[in-house]
Structure 1
Amino acid sequence: MTTQPSHSPASAEHPDDAAVIAPAERDDPLVVVQGLRKVYRSGPKEVVALHDVSFEAYPGELIAIRGRSGSGKTTLLNLVGGLDRPDGGHVVVAGHSVTELPEPGLLGLRRDVIGFIFQSFGLIPVLSAAENVGVPLRLSRTPAAEREERIRMLLSMVGLEKHTNQRPYELSGGQQQRVAVARALANRPRLLIADEPTGQLDSQTGRQIMQLLRAVVRSEGVTALVATHDPSLITLADRVLELHDGALVSPSTPRTVATDGRVPG
């Protein structure tokens, strides 16, 4: 199947804002990555971060991306999410060419289609849990009543309905990451991108967060790309993509990963 790039025009309601992104067909792969290449340059020196990476990801699928530090996991997620530009290859998300969209289109894609979860949580310290979750909804100009109901539902989904008014410093690391998950889901994204979302958490809390992501994938029908090096968390994925020195190793199942005796760094 050939996925055609799509460029959405700016919304008449938001003429000065990012382009509004229309949904893709549900039967299509949500993410198509073809021949992706990224090179970092420092003077005459070149470091190939990614080389000829190709894969597809479908709705309702949780894909773990594993590999040692420096293998290219973060670079891959940044390219899929439109946070960086590749030096070669193509990325299509929900029918839209990430590699060809101009910056307003990328802003619309990140606002309407993609939710991001980071290792460092990325919460705004002076805002409450509810206010942090509401940030994307304010940016998308969601009406106040709808916004408040969405915030309430999301915090309940992640088990924080009793912590709506607490600020990040009043929450545990696991609770902060739950707020981050809720925020990532605020605008009903089709794709979740999580870069080492359990990296700052203990093993038990990390597994709870991974289980939460798996439950969200199942209940919301979203696609999730999760970078992690923890083999105990990888077993919760539907599929595993392993990167080695920027190249994609043959995809494996969680069962294979759990029993092949290799533990990534």
Structure 2
Amino acid sequence: MAEGIDPGAAGASGEVLTGDPMVRVEGLRRSYGTGEHAVHALRGVGLTVGRGELVALKGRSGSGKTTLLNLIGGLDTPDAGSVSVDGVDLAGLGERGLLRLRRDRIGFVFQSFGLIPILTAAENVGVPLRIREADPREREERVALLLSLVGLDGHAAQRPGELSGGQQQRVAIARALANRPALLIADEPTGQLDAETGMVVMNLIRAVVRSEGVTALVATHDAQWLGLADRVLELNDGEVVEDHGPR
């Protein structure tokens, strides 16, 4: 993390932090397949995301949203261009470096929840802390705090199959925040939820972004998201075609 940046500062005031951006993308290109059958998912995308910003990515299916998030999260490699997260150029990291970045600096929330069925809500939230070999007391305190933050402190002992879809997504959000990431990446986090539950989850993500001082990138088809974001980026055919809100 860049010196002089307090990752919790945005949480206290709700203001977007200034200084070096959390995410910088330049000339990003990614294609799948070859020849006439190639799919050009991204075509020279460039953007920045400031520290403490909540940015929504909108666009129809196939516009490049998921590809962009996967590249920013270090889950895929671009054909051309560069990605830096928290001042770190991803191209300069080997697989171990990318693994550490994803483990320590980035939290992921997916449409499919991705919870481990045999573990309780508390155990699911604690998985990243176990991987990091955090002190057991620290782990228990952090898990309890996060479950309280997402409104599930009374459901700690329940397994995913005993929870509603909205509750499962709240557990997934708590798990994504376990290691105090600088960046939260959410790909269609309300895609499996009804409209009312989806709005609850969207407001929750905005609240935890503020309270935890996290930067967030959220891809969505849901128009309700757009009013909650600091900025809205629209992708179409692999290019950013609209950028609404302060840079």
Cα offset, 1:232, TM superposition:
1.4
Residue 59 of structure 1: which of 51, 67, 78 is its match?
51
Cα offset, 1:253, TM superposition:
3.7
Pairing of 1:26-45 with structure 2 (within 5 A): 26=5, 27-42=19-34, 45=37
| TM-score normalised by structure 1 residue count | 0.85
Question: 2:156 matched to 1:156?
Answer: no
Cα distance in structure 2, aligned partners of 1:66 and 1:58: 18
RMSD of the TM alignment (CA)?
A: 1.2
Amino acid in the other structure paired with 2:2: A
Cα distance in structure 2, aligned partners of 1:59 and 1:253: 15
Residue 24 of structure 1 contacts residue 30 of structure 1 at CA under 8 Å; is this kept in 2? Answer: no
Cα offset, 1:98, TM superposition:
1.4
Residue 168 of structure 1: which of 156, 160, 163 is its match?
160
Where relative contact order (Cα < 8 A, 6+ residues apart) is larger, the structure is 2
Aligned partner of 1:121 in structure 2 is 113
What is the identity percentage for the equivalent residue pairs of Structure 1 and Structure 2? 66
Amino acid in the other structure paired with 2:242: S
Cα distance in structure 1, aligned partners of 2:84 and 2:2: 11
Aligned partner of 2:213 in structure 1 is 221
Residue 199 of structure 1: which of 191, 195, 207 is its match?
191
Pairing of 1:1-265 with structure 2 (within 5 A): 23-25=1-3, 26=5, 27-42=19-34, 45-253=37-245
Aligned partner of 1:14 in structure 2 is none
Cα distance in structure 1, aligned partners of 2:36 and 2:61: 24
CA deviation string 1:218-237 (max 9, x = no partner): 11111000000111122111
Structure 1 or 2: more helix by fraction: 2
Cα offset, 1:198, TM superposition:
0.2
Unaligned runs of 5+ in 1: 1-22, 255-265
Q: Secondary structure of the equivalent of 2:39?
A: strand
> Deviating runs (4+, > 6 A) in structure 1?
none
Of the structure 1 ranges 188-197 and 233-242, higher mean CA displacement relative to structure 2 is found in 233-242
| TM-score normalised by structure 2 residue count | 0.91
Residue 86 of structure 1 contacts residue 99 of structure 1 at CA under 8 Å; is this kept in 2? Answer: no
CA deviation string 1:87-109 (max 9, x = no partner): 00000001111133110000000
Cα distance in structure 1, aligned partners of 2:70 and 2:152: 29
Cα distance in structure 2, aligned partners of 1:43 and 1:166: 50
Cα distance in structure 2, aligned partners of 1:222 and 1:140: 20
Amino acid in the other structure paired with 1:252: H
Cα offset, 1:24, TM superposition:
2.3
Cα offset, 1:42, TM superposition:
4.8
Cα distance in structure 2, aligned partners of 1:235 and 1:253: 11
Q: Secondary structure of the equivalent of 1:137?
A: helix
Unaligned runs of 5+ in 2: 6-18
The number of residues matched between the two structures is: 232
Cα distance in structure 2, aligned partners of 1:243 and 1:250: 7
Of the structure 1 ranges 218-227 and 185-194, higher mean CA displacement relative to structure 2 is found in 218-227
Cα distance in structure 2, aligned partners of 1:139 and 1:98: 22
